[in-house]
Amino acid sequence: MGTFSLEPEQRAWCAELRALAADRLAPLAEKSEPGRINRPLVAELGRLGLLERLFTSGALDLCLLRESLASVCTEAETALALQGLGAHPIHAHGSPAVRERWIPEVGAGRAVAAFALSEPGAGSDAAALTLEARPDGADGWRLTGEKCWISNAPEADVYTVFARTTLGAGARGVTAFAVPADRPGLTGEHLDMISPHPIGTLAFDGVPVTRDDVLGEVDAGFRVAMGTLNLFRPSVGAFAVGMAQAALDATLAHTAEREAFGAPLKELQTVAHQVADMSVHVESARLMVYAAACAYDEGDPEVPRRAAAAKLVATEAAQRVVDAAVQLHGARALRRGHVLEHLYREVRAPRIYEGASEVQRAIIARELYKGRQKQKESA
């Protein structure tokens, strides 16, 4: 596949995904309770084989999957993405026993996973986390502290938890653990957020973990976190592109049919130019996302910069496109139940989670200067 085009088979798969989302997933999403895990929806994603794709697909396929679902059913896209984010570290870094325990269950939609990195005082600066893993015997630790803004918390069945095993070591003193929800001392609460998917807090009161629960290596958990985010950041961009495409599609239909001043809205030059700009934003963001995903699949050393750029461009573009769509629709777009009312609420969060836009800019700049330094040293 070329970087800037999709093969016919890929286009056909995307169309199939959109049809499945409309026929099988959207009806289940409509029955969901805001702020709670929709387990029937997760189970259906498993039955359709889409969750298993999280563990067998490359970054580009993950982007195509997320974009296609998001353009029809954001709830299904988010349920799938959260499973991937929470379980990828287990799949990539867990022991054989931990993988065997959780990956088949997550892939089948019988177990729900969550990625527990952020804390009340450590959001954008993830290396500053303070959840402490205190030594407990020769082969274990006790986790003490809090996590906050955790998607799927506190209802998930297993958490990928990042805790500090070495004090004062910054990013080099963090370890990742797979922590089942039934471990003693682990509790949590729901948070009432503007976005309808489940988000909550977790409290760790001496939660026991052992070396069998470690994902990767002790004190190397930050690498696990960043590797996971490098994979998923382009696909966050794909989620945003899917929402932007849905907003553009709704706007094309509305402006072609709605009349004002004796003619369809599309005949007004100001409207036509806005729609053209919306289309350019969607397409340019999509190309950035596909390029970053291809770079990841090809092992490009510039993945951190390109993944950050894809997420930044796509999420910011989606915000502009959805906002423009609301403006062109007028008050009807703000009525509960309208597709744009839903997208307007959904589109805001991706500019914050998995690294806010400001963090993506910092990553891009850091990687650019790092590349310049390498060039100087090799000259």
Distance of CA 58 to the CA centre of its chain: 15
Nearest Cα neighbor of 20 from 52, 85, 65 is: 65
Let me know if 302 is a catalytic residue. no
Q: What is the pLDDT of residue 376?
A: 87
Rg (CA), the chain: 21
Q: Are 103 and 121 within one domain?
A: no
Q: Which of 85, 108, 131 is the last residue of a domain?
A: 108
Pick 168 or 306 by higher pLDDT.
306
- Summarised one tens digit per residue, pLDDT across range 8-54 is 999 999 999 999 999 999 999 998 888 899 999 999 999 999 999 99
- Summarised one tens digit per residue, pLDDT across range 150-177 is 999 999 999 999 999 999 888 899 999 9
Residue tagged active-site, from 354, 358, 367, 377: 354
Q: Are 170 and 231 within one domain?
A: no
2 — pLDDT class (breaks 50, 70, 90): very low
CA distance 284 to 137: 54
- How many residues in total does the chain contain? 379
Per DSSP, helices labelled H in 330-379 are 339-346, 357-378
Tell whether 31 is covered by a domain: yes
Least confident segment among 83-87, 136-140, 319-323: 136-140
Least confident segment among 132-146, 257-271, 312-326, 360-374: 257-271
333 — pLDDT class (breaks 50, 70, 90): very high
pLDDT > 70 in the chain, percent:
98
Tell whether 203 is covered by a domain: yes
Within 10 angstroms of residue 56's Cβ, the number of other Cβ atoms is 10
Tell whether 202 is covered by a domain: yes
124 — pLDDT class (breaks 50, 70, 90): low
Q: Are 228 and 374 within one domain?
A: yes
Pick 124 or 192 by higher pLDDT.
192
Q: Are 327 and 252 within one domain?
A: yes
Tell whether 3 is covered by a domain: no
Per DSSP, helices labelled H in the chain are 8-20, 26-29, 39-47, 53-56, 59-70, 74-93, 96-108, 221-257, 269-297, 303-329, 339-346, 357-378
**What mean pLDDT, rounded, does the chain reach?**
94
- Summarised one tens digit per residue, pLDDT across range 309-320 is 999 999 999 999
Span 187-191, mean pLDDT? 97
Contacts 24+ apart (CB under 8 A), 296-302: 296/58, 296/59, 296/60, 296/230, 296/231, 296/234, 297/58, 297/59, 297/60, 302/367, 302/371
Q: Which of 166, 198, 219 is the last residue of a domain?
A: 219
Which domain covers residue 290, as residue numbers?
Answer: 223-378
Q: What is the pLDDT of residue 361?
A: 97
1 — pLDDT class (breaks 50, 70, 90): very low
4 — pLDDT class (breaks 50, 70, 90): low
Distance of CA 238 to the CA centre of its chain: 9
Q: Which of 190, 219, 248 is the last residue of a domain?
A: 219
CA distance 180 to 38: 19
pLDDT at 297 over 90: yes
Per the omega criterion (within 30 degrees of 0), is the bond before 154 cis? yes
Domain CATH code at residue 204: 2.40.110.10
Domain CATH code at residue 82: 1.10.540.10
